[in-house]
Structure 1
């Protein structure tokens, strides 16, 4: 296994289903937690309910976007040094890609759908 715990943050049920199946079919993570809102993810992280070493974060979600999540993520008191965040999005907006590159928390921008090959490339 590449990672112990994976957190998938995406509001789209179908995307979550597909991404989860791809991760489960690989040796990428021992466990996968799926949440459908950025606010739920922040609460779970802040309360210590989940301690992921990798997060897949969607850009465009209602109520709180992936970038807004990152602003709030910065404020919560958890050890962020060992958490890799991958922006996983179907967005083709160059601004989204640029913003993710500029974020100190984003390891890489990945276009949906997530593939087996992309997962292999992410393993340390």
Structure 2
């Protein structure tokens, strides 16, 4: 499985990578510092190189250039019929408005609160297998 970590925090990227290597080492990680980088990558893979697309996306909300909400809006505008990754918002935001807004995006599979624990990551992979 290809996993995209879209977050401008290198420490978060490092910790998630370490957790994934511990829980599920066979997965390939793609790392992006902002939503624009990730969106450009996804767009470049459609429609000819879909095998390179991530099946799981861990998406931060607050990032420079293109934040998580803008990424979701751009992804939605793509209307990629044959590409439906599991997208989870991952945020340290405690603003209830962010949680409410996340519920308006049917593309989202969930909202995870930072910092992520090994148990949360393990539960996520278990849910994806089911």
Provide the TM-score with structure 2 as the length reference. Answer: 0.85
Name the structure where helix makes up a greater proportion of residues: 2
The 4+ residue runs of structure 1 with deviation greater than 4 A are: none
Gaps of 5+ in 1: none
Task: Choose which of 98, 101, 104 in structure 1 pairs with 2:103.
Answer: 101
User: Over the residues paired in the alignment, what is the CA RMSD in angstroms?
Assistant: 1.6
Q: Counterparts of 1:28 and 1:89 in 2: how far apart (Å)?
A: 24
Task: Choose which of 49, 52, 55 in structure 1 pairs with 2:54.
Answer: 52
Which protein shows a greater Rg?
2
Task: Choose which of 1, 23, 35 in structure 1 pairs with 2:32.
Answer: 35
SS at match of 2:37: helix
Task: Choose which of 10, 13, 19 in structure 1 pairs with 2:10.
Answer: 13
Gaps of 5+ in 2: none
Task: Choose which of 80, 83, 86 in structure 1 pairs with 2:83.
Answer: 80
Q: Counterparts of 1:29 and 1:118 in 2: how far apart (Å)?
A: 18
